[in-house]
Amino acid sequence: MNCFAKFIAARITSISHALRGLGVAIRTEGNAKVHLAATILVVILGFALDISAGEWLAIIGAIALVWIAELMNTALEGLCDIVSPEYSEKVKHAKDTAAAAVLVAATAATIIGAVVFLPYF
């Protein structure tokens, strides 16, 4: 196998690991299921209302922001549970702060969605 083929094979493996992680989050995290439903609803609404390219950029950015925050929160919580299975005030603060990041992202996404979609109604 040449160098380029090895590079491509490694990228495919990396993507498969990432997709597996996304699947784990969706299967195991209630909030990820809510984000998935919201993502599907917003994309359907965007197509139904034929939003502009600029509006799609805002919506895609908002969706990405929420998913990035949720996935990082899920990863941090999982790691914290392994590293410190017993109660720790510092771990609680770390988990609460990560959850706050998701809340901030979801709030921003909601505002962006309102700015984009409300004029259509």
Per the structure, the complete domain to which residue 42 belongs is given by: 30-120
Q: Is residue 69 part of a domain?
A: yes
> At 62, which CATH number?
1.10.287.3610
Burial class (CB in 10 A: 0-12, 13-18, 19+), 49: middle
- pLDDT attached to residue 25: 97
- Of the residues 55, 70, 86, 89, only one is catalytic, namely 70
Percentage of the chain modeled with pLDDT above 70:
100
Q: Mean per-residue pLDDT for 71-91?
A: 96
- pLDDT attached to residue 19: 97
Q: Is 70 a catalytic residue?
A: yes
Q: Is residue 16 part of a domain?
A: no
Number of domains in the chain: 1
Q: What's the chain's average pLDDT?
A: 96
Contact at 8 Å (CB) between 106 and 64? Answer: no
pLDDT at 56 over 90: yes
pLDDT at 60 over 90: yes
Q: Is residue 71 part of a domain?
A: yes
